[in-house]
Amino acid sequence: MNEDKVKEFDKYFNVNYIKIKRSAKTLMKHSEDYEDVLHNVFLTIRDRISRKGFEGTKYGGYIYISLMNEFKLAKNKEKKNITLDIDDEVIMNIAEWCILEDENNYNAHLNYVEENEYITKVLFEFINKNFNEKESFIFRTYYLSKDKMTYKRLADITKYEYSTLQQMIKEIKKKIRLEFIFYLNQKQ
C-alpha cells in the first residue's frame, strides 16, 4: 500500500515541480540553497510515506508545511546567542514575570483539563440516566472514537442500521442540547 502512495507522491511532485520550486524560492528568499532544502524535504516526505504511509490526498499542503518547517528551522539556526546580565534588575523582573506567567498558564491548563474531565463525567451520567443501554452504547462509541466517526462507520462497527443510528444520535444530541446545561448546573 505504501509503495502506491510513494509512486503517487513522486508523480505529484514531478508534475508540480515548477510550482513547488517557486514556493520554496519565495519562502526561502534569503537563502540561496532553497533547491537543496526542497530536495531534503522531498526525500524526507518520500521516506516518511514509504515507512508510515499517507492517509490524505493533498500532497501540496504536506509539502508546503514541510517547507515552512525547514524555513523556521533555518531561521532559528540563524539567531545569535544572546547573553544577559543576571545582575540587571530589569532582566530579573522580566525573567520572574515570564516564570510566573508560565506557571499561571500551566495552572489554567490544568483547570481546563479538570473541567473537561468533570463535564465529560457528568455528560456520561446524563446519558446513562436518560437513555437505555443500547443508546448509551451507541453514543459512547460515537463520542469516544479516536477519529471522526461517521454514521456509516458507526453502522459498520455496531451492526445497526444507518438510519436508526442517525436518528438515535440526532435525538441524543437534541436532548443534550436542550437539557444538559440544566443537569450540569444541578450537579454543581
Q: What is the pLDDT of residue 30?
A: 62
Which residues lie below 8 Å from residue 122, measured CB to CB, with a gap of 6+? 183, 184, 187
Answer whether 0.75 is exceeded by the pTM.
no
Question: Where do the structural domains in the chain lie, given as residue ranges?
Answer: 2-78, 116-187
DSSP per residue over the chain, as a string?
Answer: -HHHHHHHHHHHHHHTHHHHHHHHHHHTTT-S-HHHHHHHHHHHHHHHHHHH----S-HHHHHHHHHHHHHHHHHHHHSPP----TT-HHHHHHHHHHHHHHHHHHHHHHHHHHHHHHHHHHHHHHHHHHS-HHHHHHHHHHHH-SSPPPHHHHHHHH---HHHHHHHHHHHHHHHHHHHHHHHHHH-
From first to last of the 188 residues of the chain, give the pLDDT tens digit.
578 888 888 888 888 888 888 888 887 776 667 788 888 888 888 888 888 877 776 778 888 888 888 877 777 776 665 666 777 787 778 878 888 888 888 989 999 999 989 988 999 999 999 999 988 888 888 888 777 888 888 888 888 888 888 898 899 989 999 999 998 888 87
How many residues are listed for the chain in this entry? 188
CA separation for the pair 35, 28 (Å, rounded): 10
pLDDT digits (tens, 9 = 90+) for 76-117: 776 665 666 777 787 778 878 888 888 888 989 999 999 989
Please give the Cα distance from 6 to 102 (Å, whole number): 42
pLDDT of residue 174: 93
Structure confidence at residue 178 (pLDDT): 92
As a whole number of Å, the CA-based R_g of the chain is 26
Q: Quick one: pLDDT at residue 36?
A: 82
